[in-house]
Amino acid sequence: VTKITPYGFITEDMLMEYAAYAEIYSNHPIAKSIVESYKKISTKAIIDKSRIKSYEEIPGKGVKIYFGDRYIYAGNYKLMEELEI
């Protein structure tokens, strides 16, 4: 991870936390780098998987989790386009 670009009310810390939680179950190299970066920069450092209420892989596109009180999507351009993000 070399650059973080949050949008709206989301801070860099929030974005990294959401991304790390979304990617924690993935074996993809980019997902692993996101989780490792989060562990290095976060004061929380430990990811409590019990905070993830649901996890769904979206084949060829990314993942969707229910975390806290919101759905978090992490994925490629196709997924973001489909979600109109």
Whole-angstrom CA distances from 68 to 39, 43, 52, 75, 76 are 19, 19, 7, 19, 23
Inside any domain, residue 55: yes
CATH of the domain at 22: 3.40.1110.10
Inside any domain, residue 16: yes
Number of structural domains found in the chain? 1
Helix (H) or strand (E) segment spanning residue 71: strand 70-75
Domain range enclosing 53: 12-82
Inside any domain, residue 39: yes
Write the pLDDT tens digit of every residue in 21-63.
Answer: 999 999 889 999 999 999 888 876 688 999 999 999 999 999 9
Inside any domain, residue 2: no
pTM for the model: 0.87
**Mean pLDDT confidence for 9-29:** 93
